[in-house]
A = this chain, B = another copy of it.
Amino acid sequence: MGVGMKSIIQVSPGVPLYREVKRRITESVRHGEWPPGGAIPSESKLCERFGVSMGTIRKAVDELSAEGFLIRQQGRGTFVASHNQDRYLFAFFHVARQDGYKEYPKVDLVEFEKTRGDTTAAAMLRTEPGARMVRFVNKLELSGAPVVIDEILLPESLFPRLTEKRLRDRPATLYQLYQEDFRVTVIRTEERLRAIKADAFKARLLGMKVGEPLLQVIRVALSFKDQPVELRYSYVDTRRHEYYSAPMAAS
């Protein structure tokens, strides 16, 4: 049938239709039309809505679901990914025991303050230098023993009125809290790793000697359009645990 009838939606020349469909779907989610965890319209409904054919809808939804943003379930529908789901419990937590056993950590808030980001933090979070930040430190225990310290920096502009109390209420995961309380959805992360010596503060919290090796993970969490939303320094005691890197594909 070739190009067929004209589509309802307009795109600049050179922009594929399915990209515009992807953009519109993410827009609708961001604007709250379809909440995290909820279903989006069926593929045939989306055809009508956007005036494009099934194949185009499928290509758009295929990619969004490969990016982890939508979740398809045959026979049920397509859902907006939510951090409030089992599948997310270990998606961003990569520490496991050396024998491979994975468990979810018990989290304790040990510090909380409002501060201003230094130049490094401002650069990594793409805020102006000296922007207001929320800074807090969590201690993570596995099988009752402390294994990880997380130092977390959030731009206050994205997380207004985040309180110490809210963090002490033990949200299932931080990224779920970001999503539900602040409509900030973490899509992916970038990480850099180093081996460092434990300082007095970390050694005390982790029950190790000063100077012992510690795995440092510098993580930037990114939302839509690669906007950085969280800077996190993790310190992992790898005497009995390991850090699992995501599988590296050849591409």
Contact = CB atoms under 8 A, between A and B. Distances in A.
Contacts of A182: none
A201 interface: no
Nearest to A189: B248
Contact of A246 (B187, B217, B248): B248
Given A192-B245, A236-B195, A238-B195, A66 B215 contact: no
Given A213-B214, A215-B215, A247 B189 contact: yes
Interface residues of A, number: 43
B188 A248 contact: yes
B243 A192 contact: yes
Contact of A250 (B91, B215, B218): B91
B247 A190 contact: yes
B247 A246 contact: yes
A55 to B, nearest CB: 8
A214 B212 CA distance: 11
A46 to B, nearest CB: 19
A215 B191 CA distance: 14
B92 A243 contact: no
B187 A250 contact: yes
Contact of A192 (B187, B188, B242): B242
Contact of A193 (B189, B190, B193, B197): B193
A249 interface: yes
Nearest to A87: B251
Interface in A173-226: 186-197, 211-218
A23 B167 CA distance: 49
B248 A191 contact: yes
Pairs of residues from A and B, 8 with the lowest C-beta to C-beta distance, nearest first = A68-B250, A213-B213, A68-B251, A194-B238, A195-B195, A195-B213, A191-B245, A195-B215
